[in-house]
Structure 1
């Protein structure tokens, strides 16, 4: 039923796009799923992928993962949608299981799990995942590095942070704003304020996040006057210079 499949796909996509505003209706998500089943399209990977996404956005992660597991031939998008669902629901064990069972992991799947774990109560576990990503020969993106540096700062893993900094330089991401701010946060949280100051002085256009991280590091080290001068400078420049 190519016409019906296309119509259902359009409806699902429209519901997903509406997620930029109010959360999609759970009833609508379930009704759409029922219509897919009634049409005999339960094995349609494209439709089921949209349903996984729609259920996730509607706040029904169990339904989303059940739809994923019903797929006879899940593809990369299927896995990434399911991993994103598990991370959004805070089920990091499920997310890591899905990542481990994914036939062809990519940077998107790794980044999603690493980012979620870095923000969890066990941020140090993100470093283990990061090493696994590198062992698979995947190049980190600025999202990867920002998450890993955040985890390094959270557990004061300075050596890992320095290695991450070195890799950022090697792959040309050391001047990325996300990475710069994450490096500032890592060095200040590890108490290496001198390195943070040198890094901050080299940022072409520091933003509010950069200023805040640097001021926090200075204040933490007892350099209150320098932190106050930096605050005045931020106010004068509007958070950017």
Structure 2
């Protein structure tokens, strides 16, 4: 798994960008509506959240799930050299526009860094390193360049490489593997299921029952785990699993997690 502190959110070094730049709508995830560019009412003058320890109780579950992969502090401290949107209001629009682009690039850096640790994909190491370096160069761009980037095009190329990586790693599973890429598995009864080496890329696992399921070496990139029940599930070696996916799910002390990811506090 990635060992890169720069790809972990450091809210103390960010100007609360996710609390300002991004919009949200009143729902089960957010208590109120907020438009893009409008500071959240809970954002304090020091750019910290005033209800951070009570977010779920106050109806802001969506905030506890979101992960910027370190994009917030990079835009704040590197791209804009420590100038906040409060100190320099004129920079606010470009800062808000650059942030979601940087977030996508940092997510790709997370996946590529993880892929480079997979021994089964050593034949792709040179290509993975080249893609990582190219993504790093894009992330080092100035705000104007970031906003104009064809992120979708770059992401498509990286995704193809990550898929090839996944296929090489999962080829080691000695049986027919489940191929459920993008499948609608909302509310599916998969308790105790043998999903080792399964392709669950982009699968909709919202509220799925995965209690005690074997998800070792499963490709979980982009899978939607909102309210999925992972109690007792084994996620050892799961491919491209992120903290935000775990934060969206339910689990317990018996859920086996990859070493680089933390057990969510609400479990």
TM-score by length of 2: 0.21
Q: Which has the higher contact order (CA 8 A, sep 6+)?
A: 2
If each structure's helix is expressed as a fraction of its own residues, which one has the higher value? 1
Structure (1 or 2) with the larger CA radius of gyration = 1
